[in-house]
Structure 1
Amino acid sequence: MNHPTGTWLGFISASPFVGTCGSIFFIPYFCDRFGRKAVIYATVLFIWIGSIVGASAKNPASYIVSRIFMGLSFSCNYSASIWIGEISYPTTRGIFSACYHAIYYFGSVLCAWVIFGTRVCSGDAAWRIPVGLQAAIPTILLPALIYAPESPRWLASVGRFEEAEAVLLKFHANYEEVYIPLVQLEMEEILAAMEIQKKNNISSWKSLVATPGNRKRLFISCFLGVAFAWNGQGIVTWYLSTVFKDVGILEVWKQTLLNACIQLFNLLVAITGAFLVDIVGRRTLFLISIIGIFCSYIGLTVITAVYKELHKEIGQAIIVFVFFVYGFQAIAFAPMITSYPNELWPQTTRSKGLFSAMFFLNGATFFNIFVNPIAIEAIGWKYYCVYLGVQVIIFLVIFYTFPETKGHSLEEIALIFDKDDWTQSGLHKEQTSLEGKKLSSIYVTEVSSKDEL
């Protein structure tokens, strides 16, 4: 690639998102028609193609094509977030759903240390080995995917009620009699929610903006995608080497070692954030995150400005603030970028709602990655000030519009958004008729906790 810069660097970095944005509105059809697992299988296929084409690339064009295939895998893999949310045990859904994207950093850690190790390889092997190894983890996990069940909520949505109940009996009740009331509760809530959605005729793309509740869901979901891309972590993530060069960290071994340590730090913080979603709450974590990123960005901007303008030898102090930016990003945005919008939407529009949010995320990321190197090259550290303004806007929107969903089942969250009579009377009636079973489910939770002890 001959050390690309400016527009060419931006295009190469953003090329995966061409594949993602170009396919993302087609994926929900396959996700709803053929099931969540079928689309996850497609993820593995596209990763294989991208890895093989990339590792054997003979010119920049073939390398970019490989990155576009990797982008196709991104859009398909969002169905995994839906699958996890729909199959998770009720009391641990928040944690497992948040862990989905938090585990992204596990891959980042592996990648960073592989790059650190291959930096000493001669010739093209230094980059061909990491590109080829992208296919390793999906291949290792494929047997587990084959064994894994389909989403019980998807099975119910296509009329396969007995299969849905069988999945819940096996994975939520372990066929034990004491847990069966919980399965009965889940099935009746799923069926009640489906009936309400049928009466409201909620299933098409148009339905995403057809009601006040759905318009609010769509705004929150899409804004979160844009906020993830534009909260400031993009510069640090995609142009970390440029940031380091701006403050005098020039040695390749030092840059790659720092990157490897940062990714390990991200993994630990993101997992911590995933376990906090049901303790602190989603909205509170988002607010803590954006306030922390804003304060960290002030330090990052000041240090870069002093180093560049006053030529003071304090540039390496930026490492501390890079860790802060990553840490506050990973505590909320990383674990909840898919899990939060995923749980806002009802069953029949969940895939369309989530993929709409991911389109905005990837579109904003594509724009951001493409523009960032041009802006940094043109105005340098002053570009960081733009993100400080954006972070203020993100804080205000989260504070005034994001609801707290902690403590609600996927079906009960509809009561927060949908104020129509069908939803309010239907779900409240269902909750009343199932009051005894809810007490049983509470008992099940207590038994589960005692068993763990």
Structure 2
Amino acid sequence: MPIKSFEDDTIVQEIPLEKEPWYTIPHLRELNLIILSLLMYSGTVGYDGSMMNGLQSLTQWQTFMKYPTGAWLGFINAAMTLGAFITLPCQAWIADHFGRRCCLFIGLFFCALGTALQTAAYNQAMFILGRFFIGVSSAWFGIAVVLITEIAYPSHRARVTALFQCQYYLGSILAAWVTYGVRNMSNSWAWRIPSLLQIATPILGVAGTILSPESPRWLVSKDRAEEARSVLARFHAGGDLNSPLIAFEMAEIEQSLSLEREAKNSSSYIDMLKTKGNRHRLFITVSLGIFGQWVGNGVVSYYLFLILETIGITSVTQQTLLNGFLNVWNLILAVSAALIIDSVGRRKLFLTSCAIMLASYITITALSGSFAQNGSKPTGIAVVPFLFIFFGGYSIAFTPITTAYLTEIWPFALRARGVALGSMTIYSALLFNLFVNPIALAAIAWKYYIVFICVLVFAIVTIYYTYPETRRFTLEEMILVFDGKDGHVSLLPEEKENNQQTDGSSKPSHVHMESLA
């Protein structure tokens, strides 16, 4: 049975087009306010990275932690990542069996526990244990992007999903400026206050967690179709159970899940290897997770103070100020890119991002090498604007698109596990970075940047040849891009002939998502 596009059977003509902005429509306003609250959960990881950057500039924290360096400093930073990595497989199983929302409540518990331990720490072990539990909470919070994707209004889905990871910088900004504000405190509250506020962004997600509906797709998968229909009707059609849009969405969801069952797609990780389409998704998931951490951003995110010291910027005030402004810059660009994700497309943003990062990293490497040889202050300062350019490039694609892309390419049966696997890959790459980066920077300084230049070149080639464009597809229609005949999807003969794109992927002949905007 073919999966239909929005314009098949003149469905678009039956959908009342909304002339007013979404925020003037009560049911869409309610839904998007809930989603706005859920977006805050991604700020947990951003807060942590920026906070640890700031704390390393504070003598108060350095004294408490006994001036950690090298592998020990890497372990302290990695404790949070380790907690997330260990938890992710369990998170995916719970999300599939008990629903998306319960994962968020579990995350809130571990976040409160970790924050309390870290803030009240009286020795290094207690501080590190608190960081571990913060990492556990961030793994549970990761399911928020799946819930957002599955409850979002169809024409809003790509943008709100892309906005999820942008809130990473909201957490980063909060941590950067809090750390700047407490830098002159003479006691341990200089690092305890930033530790306490680690729970700030998750608290903003509590309202959305309580008010959010359960995923309609999860409800259908549990044979609770009428509940799913009620959720879609309430939030997508203002309560109209007979809306053509709701009829279409329910038919598409039920059809897609039926096809997955016919194809015997279970929710086991081994199913990621069984079909050509799933193997393609798996390659993208793993490679994108690696690229997201190995293009040089890991050095700047957690060890900015080390980079600044190699170019002669050693003042605590200057380091914390740069950290604060860098995160504001990143947030602006990431949000801007998220809002144009459907008009520009994923591939163009990814490739543009890599090109900008490559050019700026080559320049940073050259300037850093020159400063190391001649010690010229202007040469060292010249690195700073290129750090902004580099992170601007990263923020226009890898921040908003990575999680959104991984969420949309996997079918429902494997979506939670696909996102979890992507996160595990990201955290694995991050763990490597957190341990290796401080050692490498201490040993070879700026020469280490050459590694990231090579990774960026490889990323450009990989993305160009293997990452398909996915804009203007519904979640259920992604099967057209990756599975084709393997997904039991049939197109009319004329559609098969006209829907081949230059990048080799298939695309429905109709532009349907914009019709609902």
- How does the TM-score come out when normalised to structure 1? 0.93
Q: Distance in 2 between matches of 1:119 and 1:356?
A: 38
Is 2:350 aligned against 1:302?
no
Deviation at 1:412, TM superposition (A): 0.4
Partner of 1:267: 331
Deviation at 1:144, TM superposition (A): 2.8
What's the C-alpha RMSD, in Å, of the aligned pairs? 2.1
More helix as a share of residues: 1
2:265 to 194, 198, 202: 202
> Quick one: which of 395, 398, 412 aligns to 2:460?
395
> 1:423 Cα deviation (Å)?
2.2
Alignment equivalent of 2:218, drawn from 126, 133, 154:
154
Paired amino acid for 1:251: S
Whole-Å separation in 2 of the counterparts to 1:6 and 1:111: 23
- Of 244, 247, 260 in structure 2, the residue corresponding to residue 181 of structure 1 is 244
Q: Hey, what's the Cα distance between the residues in 2 that align with 1:56 and 1:406? A: 47
**Distance in 2 between the 1:386 and 1:439 partners?**
43
Determine the structure 1 residue equivalent to 2:80: 16
CA distance in 1, matches of 2:481, 2:363: 38
Indicate if the aligned counterparts of 1:222 and 1:358 stay in contact, CA closer than 8 A: no
Is 1:211 matched with 2:275?
A: yes
| 1:289-311 C-alpha deviation (Å, 9 max, x unpaired) | 01110001011111111111122
AA at the equivalent of 1:41: F
Distance in 1 (CA, whole Å) between partners of 2:191 and 2:230 is 47
The aligned counterpart of 2:254 is: 191
8 Å contact kept, 1:287–1:399: yes
Correspondence list, 1:80-159, <5 A: 80-159=144-223
Cα distance in 2, alignment partners of residues 367 and 246 from structure 1: 22
Q: Deviations over 1:362-420 (max 9, x none)?
A: 00100011100111111111000111011111111101000000000000011111133
Counterpart residue identity of residue 434, structure 2: I
Q: Distance in 2 between matches of 1:428 and 1:253?
A: 64
Any residues of structure 2 matched to 1:22-421 within 5 Å, and which? 22-176=86-240, 180-203=243-266, 204-313=268-377, 314-420=379-485
Q: CA deviation at 1:62?
A: 0.9
Distance (whole Å) between structure 2 residues aligned to residue 265 and residue 98 of structure 1? 17
Other structure's SS at 1:278 match: helix
**Residue 25 of structure 1 aligns to a residue in which SS?**
helix
The question of whether the paired residues in 1 share the 8 Å contact of 2:230 and 2:239 is answered with no
Question: 1:79 Cα shift?
Answer: 0.6
Residues 354 and 394 of structure 2 are in contact (CA less than 8 Å); yes or no, is this contact kept in structure 1? yes
The structural deviation recorded for 1:439 is: 13
Q: Helix, strand or coil for the counterpart of 1:150? A: coil
| Contact residue 181 and residue 441 of structure 1 kept, 8 A | no
Equivalent-residue separation in structure 2 for 1:80 and 1:147 (angstroms): 13
Change (3 A) 1:192 1:265: same
**TM-score normalized with structure 2 length:** 0.82
Q: Which residue type is aligned with residue 254 of structure 2?
A: L
What do residues 33-85 of structure 1 show as CA deviations (whole Å, max 9, x unaligned)?
Answer: 11111001112111111110000011111111111111111211111011111
CA distance in structure 1 between the partners assigned to 2:492 and 2:228 by the alignment: 24
Q: How many residues align?
A: 439
Deviations 1:266-290 (A, max 9, x none): 1101101101210110111000001
* Runs of 5+ unmatched residues, structure 1: 432-437
